[in-house]
Amino acid sequence: MELKRVVVTGLGALTPLGNDVATTWDAMLNGVSGAGPITRFDASKFKTQFACELKGFDVSQYIDRKEARKMDPYAQYAMVVADQAVKDSGLDLEKEDMSRVGVIWGSGIGGLVTFQQEVSSYAEGGKNPRFNPFFIPKMIADIAAGHISIKYGMMGPNYTSVAACASSAVAMVDAYNYIRLGKASVIVTGGSEAPLAEAGLGGFNSLQALSTRNDDPATASRPFDKDRDGFVMAEGAGCIILEELEHAKARGAKIYAEFIGGGLSADAHHMTAPHPEGAGAALVMRNTLEDAGIAPEEVDAINMHGTSTPLGDIAEVKAVQEVFGEHTYNININSTKSMTGHLLGAAGAVEALSIILSIQNDIVPPTINHFTDDEHFDPRINFTFGKAQKRKVNVAMSNTFGFGGHNACVLFKKYEE
């Protein structure tokens, strides 16, 4: 069968850099760090006392207070970015066949804040424990997709992918496949995460996964730097409207970029550590290039998973060099996590949004917080350190890897008729 072409027609963002797409993108281009001391709760007893929180976000500005109380923050974030993206797309839902409009979302954890609140309340409840009747529907990781579909009446494919930090990238790949196979016309996809609770911070601290640079949070996320010491946890969401090309053209939609390839793989190696040679990462990039039918030499930019962990960054760079060979030195490699922190299950969506805007604007955001070269990395590699770099960006890739060895990769191209 002939596969349909898939394009991006709407974007939404809620990140530690800004509460919409334009603010987030401007901050990325200017190398702004979203990290700072945690204000959500008292973090003084933890090894890590900072994170990348949302700034000035008031859910009541977006969602009726009564409805917001029925949602965990991760679902609230999803609703906000979905609304932004739907409006940005210009879709007139009253004219759509809603059986062909779906929602495929991603979240690595789901309602962690709700879970902690309810269990803490139970532990303090004495002989008559009480649970909020919305405890379960607020907590479950699939509910964000459900809320979005209910709000808009979207009756097409509807579910949430859970693949740790690869969750929203897996969701985007699935959405892409549903549309190109002709099983949907429009899919709202992306991901959201709200991990900033004592349990989330303490859990990642116990894994020794987080930076402990409490004296200088703004420089703590330093991908590819010799002195990197872990990632910086973040919260937020990203949303992308994917649409079948002919459907988008028929309604005169603006098109940001074309989605040309997606791939999945597994490390099959370790519960939390990457394969030391980047075997799964190399495989997922190869799968993506093969899916798109393009050569490695056509890729101009890669937004790396680049979490700022000692082992992860090394493994990913090895994988890139294996797949791209000498062309590695012609690619602008960057990690926007140096600015946003790590949004866990929402990372793939926010980072895909970044490469879509790079394609549209022919500029690559920087990797900030580079102070000392790491001898593990070939000095000929362009990590886009320090400042955004203007260049022609025709094809761009984004990598996401998650605990359990889950790998996902997406590839976008400048749209041409």
Catalogue the active-site residues.
165, 305, 342
C-alpha span between 252 and 161 (Å, rounded): 31
Residue at token pair 């519960």:
271
C-alpha span between 114 and 125 (Å, rounded): 16
In 3D space, the residue among 35, 399, 41 whose CA is nearest the CA of residue 230 turns out to be: 35
